[in-house]
Homo-oligomer: A and B are copies of this chain.
Amino acid sequence: MVGLGQCCWDQVGLVEQWPHPDAKTELLASCEQAGGPVATALVTLARLGVRTAFFGAVGGDEAGRLIRWSLVAEGVDCRLLQVDPEGESQRAWVIADRTTGKRNIFWKRGARRPFHLTDETAELIAAAKVLLLDDLDFDAALAAARAAREAGVTTVLDGGSLRPRTAELLPLIDHLVVSEKFARQWTGRPEPPAALEPLAAFGGTVTVTAGAEGCWSLLAGEVIHQPAFGVDVIDTTGCGDVFHGGYVFGLLQAWPLPAVLAFASACAALKARGLGGQAAIAGLDETLRFLARETGDIRWTTLRITE
């Protein structure tokens, strides 16, 4: 599968408790790792054993080198990553609150030439089974979604927050997997289940993720809810991104939607055990064992994974 979108260099710090403004807070722990929604989803898929290629752009700076090395080390194909030698990579500082499990992300887009679709990337998209994308570099996302649609490739859009031109992209999307915030911004309805129907008007499958409250989706007109699995939460940074990776994995297996959602939720929960968006992402065996234990359904561990 291929992913097109954001990649980022994250510096993540853990605090005992979220401070009131104007404070000085000593970090309990900190780490640096690659991040960004699509890049993190691809790392998830790579750890699950899926062959992945990433399309995105970085600057010629240290952060860009670190992002690239880190993704390559995970086995993500980065040969078509675009490097703007004079540009600056996207970066983020994340403060994770040990008490609530919530995190605040402060990010900087970085000044770099946006990713542009080349013949080579379009060919790889056409040869893939699934394209996961976000819409930060909108023109590239639109071109990629068109290439995917022409070739009959399944498209999954990760919607974190509503952007000005998102609506133009929707007719090209098969699976819309969005945050609670996106759902609220798009529909004006604060409750994820109530947002499903207006969201589903775009024509594909729609899922709304809401952190510890789990996720909701529509199946044949019925609302289905997948609760979040309980783990000892250290940091929820990247859990939504990892969910997208697990979701795509489920699509590649052609599992029914409830199984896709359960699997994606398990991936996200396991990630929350570690500091940073990627460190604690689990492999396939661990995820399936976790699912069997949590759901009491032994069939998870006896699954034959075809890809």
Query: With A and B bound together, what is the CA distance between A160 and B22 in angstroms?
Result: 13
How many whole Å from A173's CB to the nearest CB in chain B?
21
Q: Which residues of the partner chain B approach A282 to less than 8 Å between Cβ atoms?
A: none
- Complex CA gap A26/B100 in Å reads 22
Does A104 interact with chain B (Cβ within 8 Å)? yes
State which of B24, B25, B106 has its C-beta within 8 Å of the C-beta of A15: B106
Q: Which of B23, B27, B108, B161 contacts A108 (CB 8 A)?
A: B27
Is A93 at the interface (CB under 8 A from chain B)? yes
What is the distance, in angstroms, from A228's C-beta to the closest C-beta of chain B? 14
Contact, CB under 8 Å: B24 / A107: yes
A245 CB–B CB distance under 8 Å: no
The one of B22, B24, B26, B107 that contacts A25, using a Cβ cutoff of 8 Å = B107
Q: In the bound complex, what is the Cα–Cα distance between A10 and B211 (angstroms)?
A: 31
Contact of A95 among B27, B100, B106 (CB under 8 A): B106
Contacts of A25 in B (CB 8 A): 104-107
A100 nearest in chain B by CB position:
B21
Tell whether, in the assembled complex, residue B13 and residue A93 are in contact, meaning their CB atoms are under 8 Å apart: yes
Contact check, B103 vs A22: say whether CB atoms are below 8 A apart: yes
Q: Which residue of B lies closest to A179 (CB)?
A: B24
Distance from A275 Cβ to chain B, minimum over Cβ atoms (Å): 13
Q: Which of B27, B102, B105 contacts A106 (CB 8 A)?
A: B27
Considering the complex, which residues of chain A in the window 94-129 have a beta carbon less than 8 Å from any beta carbon of chain B? 95, 97, 100, 102-109
What 0/1 readout, one digit per residue, does chain A (73-104) give for beta carbons within 8 Å of chain B?
Answer: 00000000000000000000101010010111
Q: Offer 7 A-B interface pairs, CB within 8 angstroms, sorted by A.
A: A13-B93, A18-B21, A21-B104, A23-B105, A25-B106, A26-B107, A27-B106
Known A-B contacts: A24-B161, A93-B95. Give 17 more (CB < 8 A): A11-B11, A11-B93, A13-B108, A15-B106, A21-B102, A21-B104, A22-B103, A22-B211, A23-B105, A24-B104, A24-B107, A25-B105, A26-B107, A26-B108, A27-B106, A93-B93, A95-B106
